[in-house]
C-alpha cells in the first residue's frame, strides 16, 4: 500500500462530504483488472496557453510547474477515458541527477504534486482515489492512486490542445524503465542499447496512435503508452506493459474463488482495430522451450509439454502451466510450494503442492537445477522472450502496421496473422542462434497458437516453413 503523503486528510474529509466525487470501485470487481490507466509522465511539455489558464484558477501557494504537468497529463487521458496513475509516497530515497534526467526533468516533488491534486479535487476540477489495499475474492490486492479531470477542467481547452497533450505525452513518456526489488524506479546509464530500445518502443507507440482500438463494450482503448520494464538490470525482465488490452481478462473468479473463462468475444479477442477483427498469435510453452533450447538440450516432449506432464483436462493443463511458471520464478522450493498451495485450488486441483513439484522435477530432470533457482531463471527467460518480441515489434513498425505485444504473444489485425507467425518464428530462431549457433537453431521448431473469436489453430514453425 502506498504511503499516505501530504493531503490525505483532504481526501478523507471530502470522500465523506462528497462521496460521489471519490467513488472507488476495485478494478478486480470489473471482470478482472479493467481499469484503464496511464502512468503520469513528469517530462511532458507544458504549453504557455495551459499555464496562462491555470494562473486564473489556481491560488498562488500551489506550484505552477506541477499543476501544468498534471493538467497536460489529464488532458492526454480524456478522449480515452483513462485514469491517471500517480504516487503519493513521500518516503522515497533522495534521487540522483541521472534519476531526474530520466524520469523527472522538472524535479517535481511528490509533495508539490499531491498538494495540487488535493486542491483541484476539493474545488471540482478533478476527482480520484487514494491508493489502498483491498480484500477481493479472498485475496489482497493493491490499488494505485489515480485522478481524472472533470468536464469543468476539460471545457477550458480545445480539441487541438487535447491532441497536443496526447502527442507530448507519447513523446516524453519514459519507455525504458528499470526497477529494483521494491519496484522503485532506479537510474541507469543511457547507452546505445537503451537508446535503441527506446526508439523501438516510441515508434510502436507512434504507430499505434494512428489506429483506433475499441473493445467489445465499444470503449475506446489507449494503446500508445507502452513501456518496457526491466528488473534490477537489463539482463532481467524487459517485457512490454501498460496498454489497455492487458487489462482485458480472459477469466474471472466465481463465488468459490475458482477461475471461469470468459467467452472469446468478451476478452481481448473481441477488440477491433479500425473496425477490423483481431487475432492473437501465442508461443506455446515458450519459457520451458527456451530453457531447453538455450541449454542445448533435447526437449523430452514432442508437441505439448503439459500432456507430457500428465494433463488430461483443461483445468489440469492450466494448473500445470501455473506450476511450471512458479518453479521457474521461485527462488526456493519452499516458496514455490507455498505459492502453489494458494493457486492450485483455483483450478479445482486437489493434488498436494509438494507432490506436484516433485513430479515436475522428475519429468524435467535435465533442467532441475534451473528450477527454484536463486538467480531467477524466470526473469532471465523473460528477458530472452522480450528480445524476441522487440524484434517482432521493430519489423511491424517498419511496415507501419499496428501490433500489441502481450508478453510472449501479440495481437494484430486478422489480415496480418500470417505475417506475424513468420516474424515470430524468425525472431525466435534468430535469438536462439545468438545464444547457441546457426546449426543448432536450424534443428529446432517452435509451436504457436492462433486464436480469434471464431477458432483456435495450432501450428509448428521451422526455419522458413509452417506446418499445421
pLDDT (mean) for 432-440: 95
* pLDDT higher than 60, residue 138: no
Say which residue, 92 or 114, is predicted with more confidence. Answer: 114
Name the grid cell of 412. Answer: 494484430
pLDDT (mean) for 243-250: 77
pTM value? 0.83
Query: Which DSSP letter does residue 303 get?
Result: S
Q: How confident is the model at residue 253 (pLDDT cuts 50, 70, 90)?
A: low
Distance CA 105, CA 458 (A): 48
Residue-wise pLDDT tens digits, 324-369 = 999 999 999 999 999 999 899 888 888 899 999 999 999 999 999 9
Distance CA 316, CA 313 (A): 5
- Which residues are within 8 A (CB) of 33 and not within 5 positions of it... i.e. 6 or more apart? 27, 247, 249
For residue 63, the model assigns a pLDDT of 96
* pLDDT higher than 90, residue 307: yes
**In the chain, what are the domain boundaries?**
1-173, 276-284+384-467, 301-363
Nearest to 379 by CA among 446, 433, 330, 318: 330
CA angle (194, 294, 286) in 5-degree steps:
80
- Which residues are within 8 A (CB) of 317 and not within 5 positions of it... i.e. 6 or more apart? 306, 311
Q: How confident is the model at residue 16 (pLDDT cuts 50, 70, 90)?
A: very low
* pLDDT higher than 90, residue 320: yes
Amino acid at each position: 500500500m502506498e504511503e499516505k503523503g501530504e493531503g490525505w486528510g483532504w481526501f478523507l474529509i471530502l470522500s465523506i462530504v462528497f462521496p460521489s466525487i471519490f467513488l472507488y470501485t476495485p478494478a478486480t470487481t470489473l471482470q478482472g483488472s479493467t481499469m484503464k490507466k496511464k502512468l503520469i509522465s513528469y517530462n511532458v511539455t507544458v504549453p504557455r496557453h495551459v499555464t496562462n489558464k491555470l494562473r486564473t484558477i489556481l491560488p498562488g501557494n500551489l506550484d505552477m510547474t506541477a499543476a501544468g504537468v498534471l493538467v497536460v497529463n489529464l488532458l492526454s487521458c480524456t478522449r480515452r477515458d483513462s485514469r491517471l496513475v500517480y504516487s503519493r509516497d513521500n518516503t522515497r530515497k533522495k534521487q540522483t541527477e541521472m534519476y531526474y534526467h530520466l524520469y523527472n526533468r522538472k524535479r517535481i516533488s511528490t509533495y508539490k504534486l499531491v498538494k495540487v491534486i488535493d486542491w483541484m479535487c476539493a474545488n471540482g476540477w478533478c476527482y480520484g482515489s487514494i491508493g489502498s489495499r483491498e480484500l477481493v475474492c479472498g485475496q489482497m490486492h493493491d490499488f494505485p492512486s489515480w485522478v481524472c479531470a472533470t468536464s469543468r477542467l476539460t471545457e477550458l481547452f480545445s480539441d487541438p490542445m487535447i491532441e497536443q497533450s496526447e502527442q507530448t505525452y507519447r513523446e516524453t513518456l519514459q519507455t525504458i524503465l528499470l526497477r529494483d526489488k521494491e519496484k522503485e524506479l532506479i537510474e541507469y546509464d543511457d547507452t546505445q542499447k537503451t537508446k535503441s530500445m527506446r526508439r523501438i518502443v516510441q515508434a510502436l507507440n507512434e504507430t499505434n496512435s494512428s489506429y483506433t482500438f475499441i473493445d467489445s463494450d465499444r470503449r475506446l482503448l489507449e494503446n500508445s503508452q507502452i513501456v518496457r520494464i526491466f528488473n534490477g538490470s537489463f539482463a532481467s525482465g524487459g517485457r512490454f506493459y501498460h496498454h489497455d488490452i492487458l487489462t482485458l481478462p480472459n477469466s474471472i473468479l466465481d463465488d468459490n474463488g475458482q477461475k471461469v473463462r470468459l467467452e472469446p468475444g468478451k476478452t481481448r479477442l473481441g477488440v477491433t482495430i479500425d473496425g477490423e477483427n483481431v487475432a492473437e498469435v501465442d508461443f506455446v510453452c515458450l519459457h520451458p522451450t527456451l530453457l531447453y533450447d538455450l541449454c542445448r538440450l533435447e526437449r523430452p516432449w514432442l508437441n505439448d509439454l503439459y500432456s507430457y506432464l500428465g494433463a488430461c483436462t483443461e483445468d489440469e493443463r492450466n494448473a500445470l502451466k501455473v506450476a511450471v511458471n512458479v518453479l521457474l520464478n521461485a527462488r526456493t522450493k519452499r516458496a514455490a510450494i507455498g505459492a502453489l498451495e494458494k493457486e492450485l485450488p483455483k483450478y479445482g486441483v486437489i493434488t498436494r503442492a509438494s507432490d506436484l513439484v516433485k513430479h515436475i522435477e522428475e519429468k524435467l530432470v535435465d533442467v532441475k537445477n534451473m528450477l527454484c533457482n536463486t538467480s531467477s531463471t524466470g526473469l532471465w527467460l523473460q528477458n530472452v522472450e522480450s528480445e524476441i518480441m522487440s524484434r517482432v515489434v521493430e519489423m511491424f513498425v517498419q511496415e507501419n502496421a499496428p501490433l500489441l505485444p502481450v508478453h510472449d504473444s501479440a495481437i494484430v489485425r486478422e489480415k496480418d496473422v500470417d505475417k506475424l507467425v513468420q516474424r515470430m518464428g524468425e525472431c525466435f530462431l534468430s535469438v536462439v542462434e545468438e545464444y547457441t549457433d546457426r546449426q543448432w537453431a536450424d534443428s529446432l521448431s517452435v509451436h504457436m497458437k492462433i486464436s480469434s473469436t471464431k477458432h483456435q489453430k495450432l501450428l509448428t514453425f521451422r526455419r522458413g516453413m509452417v506446418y499445421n
